[in-house]
Amino acid sequence: MFKFHQMKHIFEILDKMRCLRKRSTVSFLGVLVIFLLFMNLYIEDSYVLEGDKQLIRETSTHQLNSERYVHTFKDLSNFSGAINVTYRYLAATPLQRKRYLTIGLSSVKRKKGNYLLETIKSIFEQSSYEELKEISVVVHLADFNSSWRDAMVQDITQKFAHHIIAGRLMVIHAPEEYYPILDGLKRNYNDPEDRVKFRSKQNVDYAFLLNFCANTSDYYVMLEDDVRCSKNFLTAIKKVIASLEGTYWVTLEFSKLGYIGKLYHSHDLPRLAHFLLMFYQEMPCDWLLTHFRGLLAQKNVIRFKPSLFQHMGYYSSYKGTENKLKDDDFEEESFDIPDNPPASLYTNMNVFENYEASKAYSSVDEYFWGKPPSTGDVFVIVFENPIIIKKIKVNTGTEDRQNDILHHGALDVGENVMPSKRRRQCSTYLRLGEFKNGNFEMSVNFCI
């Protein structure tokens, strides 16, 4: 019988600081090596991240019939350009400088329940003073009912005046005249007419929001208007983005629900806005955004656990029907996202399918999976730059099969990589310790 074994490593090397920059002229690379003696491994499904960098160029020749399209769509030939919408600023002071992250939400009048104020409150409350300096929040009040908008603006300005003055909260509205036709649309999926109208308008609401946010920051995350945030979500997002440096991604997901916690590079927003407008009547936004990612050649979902955003609404915005969907991966406090420094990974164990060594090191929910190892097998991490390591954490196995772990192994740190084609080795090694119950964890403070 053929038995596969698997190993799950999560390397968490926290709070790295770059040291030895000044000494970097010396050819000096650190290496961590794990010597593996025995292990038991098992199978589990996982997302696979592929760094497929090929961009698909849009070549679209859409026939647009309606008069009203022309207003919004005449510049469709240039997808990286902004859509020419004159927004109403309902509450805003001019943005003094670009931020790191823009948080966008679009809101319409609901039949039952309104969670917008709580959502805004949660964003600000869960952020530290330092984090607040790096975010801007843009709220698109997208309902055509102006008395509802006026009432909302009054509430928002009363509660969050100091955030508006600080330029970190903007409330905008895109006038109805910019919207394409919303009546008599296609009835795809046999959706009822008012459902089609609701979801089609929502796509346009989001498109105009994204279009507005294209140059307010480096990154953009979409929230809905009924969301609770986890503590210091910005710091967690920054760690994740830093850990993905050098890899190709279009969408990062920090929640598994709807259009919550989906993060983009701001430079992709004009194109995403055009895309939502172009297909606004075809399907709901959360389906369109999956297509967007696929068309830009990110094949797999890149989702992070724990989720940073939770759905708090009890009633949905569509007709006030019940919507109790909750994200069971949400954690409000205390998470431990690794910020692994750039490194190359190598193992002489046989890799199962495409569960390569590098997957043990990414902050995405994925892992390395090897076939049974032999005594003396190694798993090597070669850091690209000299660093200070604060913490090392290696996990093997998962919760469901607690005995399928690395039973015997040790972690060594080495220096001075010797040039060799086949296998990278160091001139000296120092043993930091042995694995216990399949795990290794150590708070340290040294430079390699």
Ligand X SMILES: *[C@@H]1O[C@H](CO)[C@@H](O)[C@H](O)[C@H]1NC(C)=O
Residues that bind ligand X (CB under 6 A): 78, 80-82, 84, 95, 98, 109, 145, 147-148, 215-216
Strands 135-141 and 99-107: parallel
Q: How far is the CB of 181 from ligand X (least distance, A)?
A: 18
- Closest to ligand X by CB, 169 vs 357, is 169
Strands 135-141 and 169-173: parallel
Q: How far is the CB of 216 from ligand X (least distance, A)?
A: 6
Contacts of 274 (CB under 8 A, 6+ apart): 76, 79, 83, 207
Length of the chain: 448
- Closest to ligand X by CB, 87 vs 429, is 87
Q: How far is the CB of 112 from ligand X (least distance, A)?
A: 13
Q: Token pair for residue 31?
A: 């290496």
Q: How far is the CB of 203 from ligand X (least distance, A)?
A: 21
Q: How far is the CB of 92 from ligand X (least distance, A)?
A: 12
Q: How far is the CB of 138 from ligand X (least distance, A)?
A: 12
Torsion of CA 436, 440, 444, 446, to 10 degrees: 120
